Chains A and B, each alone.
Chain A
Amino acid sequence: MGNNWHNYFNNWVSVLGLVILLLLTITALIGPVIAPFDPEDLEIGRRATSPGATYWVGTDELGRDVFSRAVTAIRVSLLVGIVAATVSTIVGIIIGSLAGFFGGWLDHILMRITEIFQVVPQFFLAVVLVALFGASVLNIIVAIALLTWPIIARLTRSEFLSLKTCQYVDAARLSGASNTRLIFGEILPNAMGPVIVSATLLVGRAMLTEAGLSFLGLGDPSRISLGVMLYQSRPFVQFAWWAALFPGMMIFLAVLSTNLIGDGMNDVINPHLNEGK
Chain B
Amino acid sequence: MRNYVLGRLIQAIPLIFTVLTINFILIHSAPGDPIDLIIGEGDVSEELIQRTRAEFGLDKPLHVQYFSYIYNVLQLNLGHSVRYREDVLEIIISRLPASILLMGTSFVISSVIGILLGLYVGPRKDSLADRIAVVISILGYSMPVFFLGLLVLKVFSLQLGWFPTQGMYNIRNPQEGWGLVMDVMHHLVLPVFTYSAFQLALIFRVTRVKMQQVIKEDYITTARAKGVQERQVIFRHAVPNTLLPIVTVLGFNFSWLLAGSVLTETVFAWPGLGRLMFDAVSYRDYPLLMGLFVVLSSFVVIVNLLTDIVYRAIDPRVSFD
Contacts and interface: CB of A to CB of B under 8 A. Distances in A.
Interface stretch (B46-54, B78-86, B146-154): B146-154
Interface centre among A116, A124, A230, A245 (most CB of B within 10 A): A124
Interface in B262-303: 262-263, 266-267, 277-278, 281-282, 284, 286, 289-290, 292-293, 296-297, 300-301
A204 B277 CA distance: 24
Given A121-B259, A216-B262, A234-B150, A204 B142 contact: yes
Q: How large is the interface on B (under 10, 10 to 19, 20 to 34, 35 or more residues)?
A: 35 or more
Nearest to A218: B281
B143 interface: yes
A230 B147 CA distance: 8
Contact of A120 (B22, B147, B281, B284): B22
A256 B142 contact: yes
B134 to A, nearest CB: 9
Interface string A155-184: 000000000000000000000000000000
Contact of B277 (A216, A237, A251, A256): A216
Interface in A232-259: 233-234, 237-238, 241, 244-245, 248, 251-252, 255-256, 259
Given A121-B300, A216-B262, A256-B138, A230 B146 contact: yes
Q: Is the interface of B mostly helix, strand, loop or mixed?
A: helix
B227 interface: no
B104 interface: no
A123 interface: yes
Contacts of A276: 125, 216
A259 B259 contact: no
Interface string B13-38: 00100110010001000110000010
B278 A263 contact: no
B144 interface: yes
Interface string A103-116: 00000000000001
Given A215-B266, A216-B281, A218-B281, A128 B293 contact: yes
A123 B298 CA distance: 14
Given A230-B150, A234-B267, A237-B154, A133 B31 contact: yes
Contacts of A217: 278, 281-282
B126 interface: yes
B289 A123 contact: no
Given A120-B19, A123-B256, A124-B297, A212 B126 contact: no
Interface of B: 15, 18-19, 22, 26, 30-31, 37, 125-126, 138-139, 141-144, 146-147, 150-151, 153-154, 158, 209, 216, 255-256, 258-259, 262-263, 266-267, 277-278, 281-282, 284, 286, 289-290, 292-293, 296-297, 300-301
11 contacts: A116-B22, A124-B292, A132-B30, A217-B281, A230-B146, A244-B147, A248-B147, A248-B150, A256-B138, A259-B138, A275-B216
Interface of A: 116, 119-125, 127-129, 131-134, 204, 208, 211-212, 215-218, 230, 233-234, 237-238, 241, 244-245, 248, 251-252, 255-256, 259-260, 263, 273, 275-277
